[in-house]
Amino acid sequence: MSGELPPQVTRTREGRPATFLEAIAEALWEEMERDSRVFLMGEDIGSYGGAFKVTRGFLDHFGQSRIIDTPISEGGFTGAAAGAAHMGLRPVVEMQFMDFISPAYDVLTNYIATSLYRGAGPLPIVVRGPVGGGNRGGPFHSQNVEMAFFHTPGLKIVYPSTAADAKGLLKSAIRDDNPVIFEEHKGLYRAPHCREKLPADDHVVPLGKARVAMEGEDLTIVTYGLMVHRSLEAAATLARDRVRVEVIDLRTLLPLDEDAIVASVQKTGKLLIVHEDTRTGGIAGEIAMRINERAFEWLDGPVLRVTAIDSPVPFSGALEDYFLPSVADVVTAGRYLVNY
């Protein structure tokens, strides 16, 4: 084990701001230091340090038994993570890109998610990796995968929007006794506006609790991930029209913090849901239904959504920009709602 720490895990120790990616690295490092049962598995995460260098230097420090370079077989090593979790270990599985989680869909939904219910015990596994578009990655390196798993009881899904949340939520996910899908928008990894000083103590953010990213009284925007930042930009534009927007950052999609959404809608009477995932079968539909069940009496307008269009993520920059929800889209929908 080497004594020199990789630079991406020392920002907070040195009192310096950390990027979103460094926050992820710090969370992994600290949890591995804290709990010897935690180990990492994934493609090229060892000597190569992972596709985005999150785990650069981890192999030297923690050794091969805890930093496992896997074959390119997402189903196989996710299944193996289940076995290791049965035996009391706490595997953190990295998908090089979350688009590649689909080969592991079977074992995640049929075996891992059902384990506790079947009486086979809890399986504390985190499956984490980069998601999202805007990087010209095309259809196979840009997807958001949350809704492929959202309807599977037994799973949790986390999708942070800030560096502090990324660190705190990932630490919580690793400590959680349930399987957690942890999505990291690659557009936030090194984004300058996401660089921030992280709490120096053992920073843990509970799963299942949304946060109010901006307070307002005229319109609620419920969103998560990169779209939190787009929504805040839109809110700033709308503020020039004297529209006070409340932005709810879900942080955790499953379990969904329904109470936070309802409370905000009871205050504003208007709800706009913004997500980068495609429209049909997106989480907006579920949120709208829950508001229909619990806060119909408080609504002063239709529930609207701004999402990606229903297509694969296109490769061309021009096409992808059209595909993704923009600040202008959010502003347009927001204006429509407040004037409804």
Partner 1 sequence: MPGDATALSRGVVRDLLYQGFQARFLAGGAAKSAGMPFGVDIRTVAMARAMRHSSDGKGDLCSAGHLAPGPMLAFGATPLEFLRQLGRKGTAPAAARSGGRSWTDLRRGLIGWDGPPGTMTQVLAGVALAFAQRGQDRAALVFEEFAATETGGWHEGMNFAAAQAAPLVVVLDAARGAGDAGEGAADAIARGYGVDAATVSREAYPELFRTVADARRRAVQGRGPSLIAMLPRDQDDPWALHDAFVAWARDEAGVGRGEVKAIERAASAGVDHAFHRLDKEPEAAADDALVPVCTHDVPQPAWTRRTPPEPGWRATAEPQGFHDVR
Residues annotated as catalytic are 141
Minimum CB–partner distance for residue 206 and partner 1 (Å): 11
Q: How far apart are CA 175 and CA 167, in angstroms?
A: 12
Q: Give all strands of the β-sheet with 90-94 in edge-to-edge order.
A: 67-69, 38-42, 90-94, 126-131, 180-185, 156-158, 252-254
Q: Are 146 and 181 in contact (CB under 8 A)?
A: yes
d(CA 171, CA 12) in angstroms, rounded, equals 15
In whole angstroms, give the CA distance from residue 261 to residue 293. Answer: 12
Indicate whether 1 belongs to the interface with partner 1 (CB under 8 A): no
Binding-site string for partner 1 from residue 265 to residue 294, where x marks contact by CB under 8 A and - marks none: -xxxx--------------------x--xx
Helix or strand run (H / E) with residue 184 = strand 180-185
Q: Which residue is listed with tokens 């506790």?
A: 116
Residue 65 binds to partner 1 (criterion: CB under 8 A): yes
Distance CA 179, CA 75 (A): 15
Site for partner 1 in 92-121 (CB under 8 A): 106-107, 110-111, 113-121
Among 298, 301, 315, 336, which residue sits at the site for partner 1 (rule: CB under 8 A)? 298
Kindly state the number of chain residues that form the binding site for partner 1, as judged by CB under 8 A.
59
Among the listed ranges 82-90, 137-145, 157-165, 189-197, the one in contact with partner 1 (CB under 8 A) is 82-90
In the bound complex, what is the minimum distance in angstroms from residue 205's beta carbon to partner 1?
16
Q: Does 68 bind partner 1 (CB under 8 A)?
A: yes
The reply on whether position 153 binds partner 1 by CB under 8 A is: yes
Taking CB under 8 A as the rule, does residue 162 contact partner 1?
A: no
Strands laid side by side in the 211-214 sheet: 211-214, 245-249, 219-223, 271-278, 304-308
Binding residues for partner 1 (CB under 8 A): 39, 65-66, 68, 70-71, 73, 75-89, 91, 106-107, 110-111, 113-122, 153-154, 156, 176-178, 217-218, 255, 266-269, 290, 293-298, 300, 338
